[in-house]
């Protein structure tokens, strides 16, 4: 049975996306409080058990892609949703400005290097989509270059899926007013000031351009094997609740089983 979060938040392949039609305050009828908190805790517990099974079976890998405008909550999602998983089987990779070595290769080279191996969960904090987002907005390469990358991304994700990598892509959808509130909060809160970047404030000037770039990426790079989910993220608690459910259900749908023992248990004796 498909979870309501998955059913309501997954983006239908082939659908042209207009982000103004998606309410970043949506909570699917959930309200902040004890019930939502308890439900999140149960989902996190499910994730812990499912990750252990994923690690033991080693037939699949899970790749979680987190994208969103500045202050959308990518770091917070990692911290809360993945709080219960074993770090030994989970790798978080942030993708910032390419190094000189990375820039000397094709744009997917550094991405492929970070794809999780079978049995593990990989989380991308930003991803290969930056090369059709920031690169496009700031005209870092000609349109004739970045416009070809949608097809290259689709081919790349298809290849990963055919080789046992389950892909989940989450767009953390916040409003422009909510972004402003969060950026101002960083200025006022000493515990958050370390996160302040002049670039975040500068990039806000390009809000409309980024929205357009995201709409194209969500429309052109959405498939059954690598679906996008548009997650209403003005409410952090709902963002965490929704993503935890979707990740847990995705792992459960793999119908994983513990492998058989590699030794004859009847012959083992404890001295």
15: domain CATH number is 3.40.50.300
Angle at 196 between CA 101 and CA 84, to 5 degrees: 80
pLDDT (tens digit per residue) in 118-161: 999 999 999 999 999 999 999 999 999 999 999 999 999 999 99
Residue 270 lies in a domain: no
Residue 265 lies in a domain: no
* Alpha-carbon 88 to chain mean position: 19
pLDDT of residue 2: 57
Average pLDDT over residues 10-24: 97
Angle at 62 between CA 59 and CA 65, to 5 degrees: 160
pTM: 0.95
Residue 269 lies in a domain: no
Non-local (6+) Cβ contacts of 20 within 8 A are: none
pLDDT (tens digit per residue) in 216-264: 999 999 999 999 999 999 999 999 999 999 999 999 999 999 999 989 8
Q: How many domains does the chain have?
A: 1
pLDDT (tens digit per residue) in 163-207: 999 999 999 999 999 999 999 998 888 888 887 878 878 899 999
Average pLDDT over residues 14-22: 97
- 226 HSE (CA, 13 A, CB side): 23
pLDDT (tens digit per residue) in 63-119: 999 999 999 999 999 999 988 888 889 999 999 999 999 999 999 999 999 999 999
> d(Cα 208, Cα 205) in Å, to the nearest integer?
8
Structure-block tokens of residue 68: 């969103």
Checking if the pLDDT of 21 tops 60, the result is yes
Residue 154 lies in a domain: yes
Residue 248 lies in a domain: yes
pLDDT of residue 3: 78
pLDDT of residue 1: 44
Residue 264 lies in a domain: no
- 247 HSE (CA, 13 A, CB side): 37
Residue 27 lies in a domain: yes
248 by DSSP, 3-state: which? helix
> d(Cα 17, Cα 92) in Å, to the nearest integer?
28
Residue 233 lies in a domain: yes
pLDDT of residue 194: 84
> d(Cα 152, Cα 172) in Å, to the nearest integer?
23
Q: Give the domain extent around 9.
A: 4-254
């Amino acid at each position: 049975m498909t979870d309501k979060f998955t059913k309501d938040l997954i983006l239908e392949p082939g659908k042209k996306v207009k982000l103004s039609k998606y309410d970043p305050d949506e909570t699917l009828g959930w309200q902040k409080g004890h019930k939502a908190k308890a439900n999140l805790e149960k989902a996190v517990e499910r994730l812990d058990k499912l990750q252990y099974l994923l690690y033991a079976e080693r037939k699949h890998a899970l790749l979680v892609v987190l994208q969103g405008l500045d202050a959308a909550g990518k770091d917070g999602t990692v911290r809360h949703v993945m709080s219960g998983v074993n770090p030994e089987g989970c790798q978080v990779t942030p993708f910032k400005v390419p190094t000189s070595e990375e820039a000397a290769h094709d744009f997917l080279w550094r991405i492929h290097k970070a794809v999780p191996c079978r049995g593990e969960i990989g989380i991308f904090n930003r991803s290969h989509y930056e090369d059709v987002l920031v690169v496009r907005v700031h005209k870092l390469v000609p349109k004739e270059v970045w416009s070809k990358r949608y097809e290259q991304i689709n081919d790349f994700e298809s290849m990963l899926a055919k080789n046992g990598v389950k892909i989940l892509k989450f767009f953390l959808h916040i409003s422009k007013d909510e972004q402003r509130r969060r950026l101002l909060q960083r200025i006022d809160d000493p515990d958050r000031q370390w996160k302040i970047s002049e670039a975040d404030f500068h990039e806000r000037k390009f809000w409309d351009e980024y929205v357009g770039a995201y709409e194209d990426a969500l429309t052109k790079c959405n498939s059954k094997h690598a679906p996008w989910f548009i997650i209403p993220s003005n409410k952090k608690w709902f963002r965490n609740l929704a993503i935890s459910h979707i990740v847990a259900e995705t792992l459960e749908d793999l119908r994983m089983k513990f492998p058989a023992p590699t030794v004859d248990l009847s012959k083992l004796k404890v001295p």
